[in-house]
Structure 1
Amino acid sequence: MTLPLDLIMFGALIAVILSGYPVAFAIAGVATGFALLGAALGQFNIGLMGALGQRFFGIMTNPVLTAIPLFVLMGVILERSRIAEDLLETMGRLFGTMRGGLGVSVVLVGALLAASTGIVGATVVAMGLIALPAMLRNGYNPSLAAGMVATSGTLGQIIPPSTLLIILADVMSSAFQQAQYAQGLFSIQTVSVGQVFAAALVPGLLLVALYVAYILIRAWLRPADAPALSEAVSRPPLGAVLAAILPPVLLIVAVLGAILGGVASPNEAAAVGAIGALLLAGGRHGMPRWLLISGGVALALLAVLAGGWPVRIQRSDAGLAEYLRAALYAGLVLWGTAAILVAGWRLMRAGVFGPVLTSTLTVTSMIFATILMASYFSLVFVGLGGEHRIAAILEALPGGPTGALIFAMAFIFVLGFFLDFVEIAVILLPLLVPPLILMGHDPIWLAVLIAVNLQTSFLTPPFGFSLFYLRGAAPASITTGMIYRGVIPFIALQGLAIALIWLWPAIGTWLPRAAF
């Protein structure tokens, strides 16, 4: 009898990861062990290992994945610039006088931070340190308050730009191409990061609306759970509200607008976001406001003019107009560069720049180490016949394509209790998604369903990362049990969002079709 080494390999991977061993090393160790075991038993062609170098090179030069370090840099800079504190304080004063208003402000701030930083840990910790004590002080139900903070922080994974969506776009594009090759199509289509960003935007806003509606309904039915502010607070003036909200909103518009409008690739838009975040952080640390504004305007103007009226002074027919435009563009470059250098110098003097780069390097290294080792694991798993086994399992399920998708979504949800979203995305999805696309499921719609499903992995105990982040930042009066009870209604709301997207696919597919 032949041992099902592929299934044993997957079970062994989960067991090793749960042991607490570093994920990238756990994946590599399991893959190596089963490659050698499979070769010894005659079930694995060891010659396949020769493809590793090419696979690794392809990942490191992948134009989609190279946007990740820049988006991480943007998020870390904004995290260190204390933008969350201003937003929470201003929004709390704006909505706090209404019943459930503090909770609404937490969700809205979570959405704004999600679209500007995309870093779950930073958002949860910031709100756990600032908003959670304020809610407890004003009589909020501890479980509800903890659930709102933990859940709002996870919006950074579904509202673009986010690392999850970039990785998911790459996985879905590869799976879509595999499915088309399997159908005998060689004039293939792909799934771009811009399409996935566009597809996730409306579902992300749908989640925000569901959270806000739940908080307001619960505050109306049970006023003691989410009372209005008992402290005497004054509504902030319009200028203070705009000063807190406009910077992240402008950054969001610049990044997402460039991608969705087709003006810039994800890499270029990520660079715009990183520079914008650097300028905003410089303004936070004493950079003259006139230089910040003029430098930002110079760079924006340069992008518009150079895109609409490019200059090629090396041409033989270049005239005075081209030379004048070239001089103007050079001046804009110099002024924008001066603003960037001053902002960087201010961050260095404040002791922020070094930790920002260290944190960016650490997060990026962790993500890419996991992606590289997952590619190694996938090579061995496919070599052991796992790809065909998974396709056969999905095809044998009752209910046809719908039954297969229900099984896949349930499997992803259960794995979210134990594994991180990166591990699920880069290990499991390349195996699950191609058969689902071959069964007729739209890849964009599928990406949105999976993205919302993967978001729940941050909230499901025992290994939900948002739960860990909040546990470290919450006051001693908030127990782990309170946090677990608090997130249950919000997990149910995420399930409702998945059901709505399933029933009305246009929620996820309308915007990418309109934009692209």
Structure 2
Amino acid sequence: MTESYFWPVVMLVALMAGLFTGFPVAFVLAGVGIVLALLADIPLVFLSTAVARIYSGILTNWLLIAIPLFVFMGLMMERSGVAERLLGSLASLFRSLPGGYAFAVAILGVAMGASTGIIGASVVLMGMIALPTMLQNRYDPRIATGLIASTGTLGILLPPSIMLIVLGDQLRVPIGDLFIGAIGPGLLLSGLFLLYLIAVAILQPHRMPPRPEGRTTDRSALVVRLLKDLVAPVLLILSVLGTIIAGVATPTEAAAIGALGALVLAFLSGSLDFETLRSSLRQTTKTTAMIVFVMIGATVFSVIFRRLGGDAMVADAFAHIGESPYVVLLAVMALIFVIGFFLEWVEIVLVVVPIVAPVVMALDFGMDPEQTLAWFAIALAVNLQISFLTPPFGYALFYLRGIAPEVPIGTIYRGIVPFVLLQVLAVLLVIVFPQISLGLASYLGR
């Protein structure tokens, strides 16, 4: 380590120490930045740079209005009863198959992920309505908990995703392009989950036995009921993604359409009352405030970190890894994967990504810079999804443990191992085959 990199290293060490104290992340980021600026004799007037960036990049950034709108949409969808009805229809349709209920949960995870995007809500909701039934039907607890935790995290990748909004804002990539680009990897990951369930159902059917036969129901009637239950989420997805892909609305405008649509669906389902509206607005405010405050703290930290030469330090570190751009990219992904064991996606996107993005942009992958950024962003999003499942701070695991205290935490940890490996495989496939994330946008002429 050269002497010129002393202060950047001190900043990183101080940041990690501050995060492990349990103090709010936003204040840790801003506090470390300001204290190190004083210790390193940076003129106080330089801090006005951070203030200007906070104002122009956060407080007046109209793209970020989509965050509270999508959060509200997800919360209202959770309370509308769509998930319970859809799971019931899917489970009845697949009742006679080994692993039938697991297939129903996997499909529900895709539908909920594409219509809510709220990880905590998806995991808790599916855990409450699906886990007891799976355990009562003698499902292997590792399969049941791993499946619910992993499919519940699809909402952070499938559009509309809050993470994609923040990631696009940080990398200056159009949010609509990221939404379109995430569809392929999201379906790829969902397909890998389903293939794994099919393999277990064939090779180890005792781990996912078929449900006991109840009263006989006409299969055509089940299909009709399933289609009726799919109407609400499909309409909501089309109202958001369809307007973006068609170029009719910007992501922020589409978020407003989605929020209004979720409100109407909650009203039509009879689940909309004053208490539901109040709690949804309160949770929306809390979630949005948390993200915005972390963005403010991260802006202060990154401005000081760059001023002290932190970006040059990171560039030098990756320059010693090798000359192959793919080796460097894999090193970046490995670093973020490890950091995901300890930090949330918000901190990684706001602190780590702005530091490593210039390193990736300097590499030659044989595509134009806009495509490189979009491809990197989607691969990064798939990688960040894993952070919800990796101990010790995998939030999806904590959500599931909170609603299922009878399941040992060790069982939950072992249950997510195959799904984490599948997600790592998905990251590698997106890197090796860029068209998984870029193909649909190219086809649509974006």
- TM-score w.r.t. length of structure 1: 0.82
The equivalent of 1:145 in structure 2 is 144
Structure 2 residue 396 is matched with structure 1 residue 470: no
- One-letter amino acid of the counterpart of residue 293, structure 2: A
Which residues of 2 match residues 426-505 of structure 1 at below 5 A? 426-441=350-365, 442-476=372-406, 478-505=407-434
- Name the CA distance, whole Å, in 2 between partners of 1:255 and 1:101: 30
Structure 2 residue 255 is matched with structure 1 residue 253: no
- One-letter amino acid of the counterpart of residue 49, structure 2: A
What is the aligned counterpart of 2:174 among 192, 195, 206? Answer: 192
CA contact (8 A) 1:196 1:512 kept: no
Shift of 1:2: 5.4
Any idea what the Cα deviations from partners look like across 1:51-85, whole Å, max 9, x if unmatched?
12211111122132221111111111112223222
The equivalent of 1:328 in structure 2 is none
CA contact (8 A) 2:68 2:288 kept: yes
The equivalent of 1:97 in structure 2 is 96
- Name the CA distance, whole Å, in 2 between partners of 1:396 and 1:496: 26
Structure 2 residue 337 is matched with structure 1 residue 413: yes
What is the aligned counterpart of 1:222 among 181, 196, 204? Answer: 204
Shift of 1:475: 4.7
Partner SS state of residue 66, structure 1: helix
- One-letter amino acid of the counterpart of residue 134, structure 1: T
Partner SS state of residue 387, structure 2: helix
Any idea what the Cα deviations from partners look like across 1:449-486, whole Å, max 9, x if unmatched?
1010000000000001100100101151x110010000
- Name the CA distance, whole Å, in 2 between partners of 1:3 and 1:209: 45
- Name the CA distance, whole Å, in 1 between partners of 2:276 and 2:327: 51
What is the aligned counterpart of 1:267 among 252, 256, 259? Answer: 252
The equivalent of 1:13 in structure 2 is 15
- Name the CA distance, whole Å, in 2 between partners of 1:446 and 1:71: 24
Shift of 1:230: 2.2
Any idea what the Cα deviations from partners look like across 1:416-474, whole Å, max 9, x if unmatched?
00000010001000010112112124111111110100000000000011001001011
Partner SS state of residue 230, structure 1: coil
- One-letter amino acid of the counterpart of residue 465, structure 1: Y
CA contact (8 A) 2:135 2:141 kept: yes
- One-letter amino acid of the counterpart of residue 65, structure 1: L
Greater Rg by CA: 1
The equivalent of 2:157 in structure 1 is 158
Structure 2 residue 304 is matched with structure 1 residue 380: yes
- Name the CA distance, whole Å, in 2 between partners of 1:412 and 1:377: 18
The equivalent of 1:341 in structure 2 is none
- Name the CA distance, whole Å, in 1 between partners of 2:7 and 2:95: 57
CA contact (8 A) 1:48 1:383 kept: no
The equivalent of 2:288 in structure 1 is 364
Q: CA-atom RMSD, angstroms?
A: 1.4
- Name the CA distance, whole Å, in 1 between partners of 2:151 and 2:213: 24
Partner SS state of residue 161, structure 1: coil
CA contact (8 A) 1:45 1:383 kept: no
- Name the CA distance, whole Å, in 2 between partners of 1:64 and 1:512: 20
Shift of 1:396: 2.4
CA contact (8 A) 2:5 2:309 kept: no
- Name the CA distance, whole Å, in 1 between partners of 2:31 and 2:325: 35
- One-letter amino acid of the counterpart of residue 32, structure 2: V
Which residues of 2 match residues 199-210 of structure 1 at below 5 A? 199-210=181-192
What is the aligned counterpart of 2:55 among 54, 57, 80? Answer: 57
- Name the CA distance, whole Å, in 2 between partners of 1:401 and 1:61: 36
Q: Which moved further from structure 2: 388-397 or 442-451?
A: 388-397
- One-letter amino acid of the counterpart of residue 179, structure 2: F
The equivalent of 1:282 in structure 2 is 267
Any idea what the Cα deviations from partners look like across 1:1-59, whole Å, max 9, x if unmatched?
556111221122122112211111221221122111111xxxx3433201122111111
What is the aligned counterpart of 1:353 among 277, 281, 284? Answer: 277
- Name the CA distance, whole Å, in 1 between partners of 2:223 and 2:213: 21
Which residues of 2 match residues 111-130 of structure 1 at below 5 A? 111-130=110-129
Would the alpha carbon gap of residues 129 and 384 (structure 1) be closer, same or farther in structure 2, given more than 3 Å must change? same
- Name the CA distance, whole Å, in 1 between partners of 2:95 and 2:22: 42
CA contact (8 A) 2:113 2:154 kept: yes
The equivalent of 1:26 in structure 2 is 28
- Name the CA distance, whole Å, in 2 between partners of 1:38 and 1:86: 59
CA contact (8 A) 1:281 1:347 kept: no
Any idea what the Cα deviations from partners look like across 1:346-388, whole Å, max 9, x if unmatched?
532xx21111110110110011111111111101111111011
The equivalent of 1:78 in structure 2 is 77
CA contact (8 A) 1:71 1:163 kept: yes
Shift of 1:244: 1.4
- One-letter amino acid of the counterpart of residue 22, structure 1: P
CA contact (8 A) 2:430 2:436 kept: yes
Would the alpha carbon gap of residues 141 and 15 (structure 1) be closer, same or farther in structure 2, given more than 3 Å must change? same
The equivalent of 2:368 in structure 1 is none
Shift of 1:231: 4.6
Structure 2 residue 246 is matched with structure 1 residue 244: no
- TM-score w.r.t. length of structure 2: 0.94
Any idea what the Cα deviations from partners look like across 1:399-426, whole Å, max 9, x if unmatched?
4322211111000000000000010001
Partner SS state of residue 166, structure 2: helix
Shift of 1:241: 1.2
| Runs (5+) with no aligned partner, structure 2 | 366-371
- Name the CA distance, whole Å, in 2 between partners of 1:62 and 1:203: 28
The equivalent of 1:47 in structure 2 is 45
- Name the CA distance, whole Å, in 2 between partners of 1:172 and 1:14: 24
* Count of paired positions: 433
Q: Percent identity?
A: 42
- Name the CA distance, whole Å, in 1 between partners of 2:273 and 2:442: 41
